[in-house]
Amino acid sequence: GDSVTQMEGPVTLSEEAFLTINCTYTATGYPSLFWYVQYPGEGLQLLLKATKADDKGSNKGFEATYRKETTSFHLEKGSVQVSDSAVYFCALPSGGGSYIPTFGRGTSLIVHP
């Protein structure tokens, strides 16, 4: 079945540092790929998405490129801020006859001033 693997956290960075959170997936075909963000005390919200191979999703300075060759969708940001401290989830939508989306375990990001 579908699966998503993302790097373990927490990731601890200083403000203005470069961020990469790795995500790889296993799925049938070429699904859409998503990154969700969860700020403390809140539910998950969509950060960005890509619907086909080589697409780049972007939002709030974050980017991720859909790489079908490496089945990856790594999240990057050039200069993180304290306000980016959150948990980030890579996800596949439901598909292949399943109604159930697939989420990674989440990666906690802590940004220090």
Partner 1 sequence: DAGITQSPRHKVTETGTPVTLRCHQTENHRYMYWYRQDPGHGLRLIHYSYGVKDTDKGEVSDGYSVSRSKTEDFLLTLESATSSQTSVYFCAATGTGINTIYFGEGSWLTVV
Applying CB under 8 A, the residues found at the interface with partner 1 are: 32, 34, 36, 41-46, 49, 51, 89, 91, 93-94, 99-101, 103-106
Nearer to partner 1, 17 or 58 (CB): 58
Q: How many CB atoms lie within 10 A of CB 13?
A: 17
CA 86 to chain centre: 12
Rounded to a whole number of angstroms, the minimum distance from the CB of residue 61 to partner 1 is 20
Rounded to a whole number of angstroms, the minimum distance from the CB of residue 16 to partner 1 is 29
Residue with tokens 């790889």: 24
Provide the pairing of β-strand 86-92 with 107-112: antiparallel
Rounded to a whole number of angstroms, the minimum distance from the CB of residue 103 to partner 1 is 5
Rounded to a whole number of angstroms, the minimum distance from the CB of residue 101 to partner 1 is 6
Nearer to partner 1, 19 or 37 (CB): 37
Residue with tokens 């790097």: 7
Residue 46 CA to residue 72 CA, distance in Å, equals 18
DSSP state string for 71-94: TB--EEESS--GGG-EEEEEEE--
Nearer to partner 1, 29 or 41 (CB): 41
Nearer to partner 1, 73 or 79 (CB): 73
